[in-house]
A = this chain, B = another copy of it.
Amino acid sequence: MAFPMQFLSDNAAAVHPQVWDALHRADAADTPYDTDAVSRRLDEAFSALFGREVSALWVATGTAANCLALSTMVAPHGGVLCHREAHIEMDEGGAPGFYLHGAKLVLAEGEGAKLAPATVAPVLDAIRDDVHQVQVHAMSLTQASEYGRSYRPAELAALTSLARERGLKVQMDGARFANAVAFLGSTPAEACGDADALSFGCVKNGAMNAEAIVFFDRALADVARYRRKRAGHLQSKGRYLAAQVLAMLEGGLWLANARAANAAAAEIAAAAAGRLLHPVEANEVFLRCTATERAALRAQGFGFYDWGPDAARFVAAWDTREEHARALARAIAGL
């Protein structure tokens, strides 16, 4: 960790004090797996958040959350339509192939790593309706997208309508769902539209190692419980995961943390308007930036990832210090 001011990723940030408190409270003896009193509060907490009856399961990682949800929607001989740059396609080490037993990821394009009816429909239309080609069973959306872009409610409505017409289930990867909600200023329900399941990300937003899968189609949750155990993801001390998730929900911590991260990203973006590769709609900033410029920033103590030869990615986290964001903004402006 040579760089005192880190913008590498939000995925290794510290654990929020309120999460620590909740973890310690969970230390009291209770029953194993998800039979404990803490785990049993998840459904109610998420039902309140989304304003409808849902079933919610804790799980340790976003990859597991996405793949477990998809495994309840897609038969092994089916496919999942997703963006060519979706995390499930690019960065999950083949987990969808494992969890879906060889089902295929069917790729579509779309600006800002977002799908759109205009890019999805042609891909679906090109699949012959016969046994020689893999038929798509579900669509996976990422909110916010891999480039920190947030789907507007109307965009979601158009996509999920298309999905329903084609008989597809809808899964949402919400590793940064909180950041999208914070950006949109919408309700959580509006930000996930008519999805059947949402990976409600906590790890990047202040938790230690707990995400929630929120099932709007509750029948899928009953399958997911078997699949979670089968995948070795049913922790015996599940109360420590449930506690993290509930801590994120309590008092709107999830949203407050996301707002803090988004604000830091916005400050950086404001200083770098001419360099932005993507509008900043969450907590990630992608900038055009030469190798020389990147070296200059690193010399000033900023850590971040190169994004190809001519760009850089900066991610703000819930615990990014304001003065670091401000310093980075100044440094970028001064390039």
The interface of chain A, by Cβ under 8 A from chain B, is 1, 6, 8-9, 11-15, 20, 23-24, 27-32, 36, 59-61, 63-65, 67-68, 75-77, 79, 90-104, 131-135, 203-204, 208-209, 223, 225-237, 239-241
Q: Which 3 A-B pairs rank lowest in CB-CB distance, beginning with the nearest?
A: A97-B102, A64-B232, A93-B229
Q: Report the minimal beta-carbon distance from A309 to chain B, rounded to whole angstroms.
A: 12
Pairwise interchain contact B208-A240, C-beta atoms closer than 8 A: yes
Pairwise interchain contact A27-B1, C-beta atoms closer than 8 A: no
Pairwise interchain contact A228-B1, C-beta atoms closer than 8 A: no
Can you offer 22 A-B residue contacts whose CB atoms are under 8 A?
Answer: A6-B29, A11-B236, A20-B24, A59-B232, A60-B60, A61-B233, A67-B232, A75-B223, A77-B98, A77-B230, A92-B132, A94-B104, A95-B230, A95-B231, A95-B232, A99-B232, A100-B102, A101-B102, A131-B229, A203-B236, A209-B240, A231-B231
Q: Is the interface of A mostly helix, strand, loop or mixed?
A: loop
Beyond A77-B227, A225-B131, A226-B77, whether A63 also contacts B94 by CB under 8 A is no
Pairwise interchain contact B209-A98, C-beta atoms closer than 8 A: no
Pairwise interchain contact B12-A27, C-beta atoms closer than 8 A: no
Pairwise interchain contact A209-B60, C-beta atoms closer than 8 A: yes
- Copies of this chain, whole number: 4
Cα distance A63–B229 when bound, in Å? 9
**CB-CB < 8 A to A36: which residues of B?**
12
**CB-CB < 8 A to A27: which residues of B?**
14-15
Pairwise interchain contact B233-A131, C-beta atoms closer than 8 A: no
Pairwise interchain contact B232-A233, C-beta atoms closer than 8 A: yes
Pairwise interchain contact B77-A94, C-beta atoms closer than 8 A: yes
In the complex formed, the residue of B with least CB distance to A241 is: B209
Pairwise interchain contact A63-B232, C-beta atoms closer than 8 A: yes
Pairwise interchain contact B75-A94, C-beta atoms closer than 8 A: no
**CB-CB < 8 A to A228: which residues of B?**
131
Pairwise interchain contact A133-B232, C-beta atoms closer than 8 A: no
Beyond A100-B102, A228-B131, whether A60 also contacts B235 by CB under 8 A is yes
Pairwise interchain contact A31-B1, C-beta atoms closer than 8 A: yes
Cα distance A27–B20 when bound, in Å? 10
Cα distance A60–B237 when bound, in Å? 10
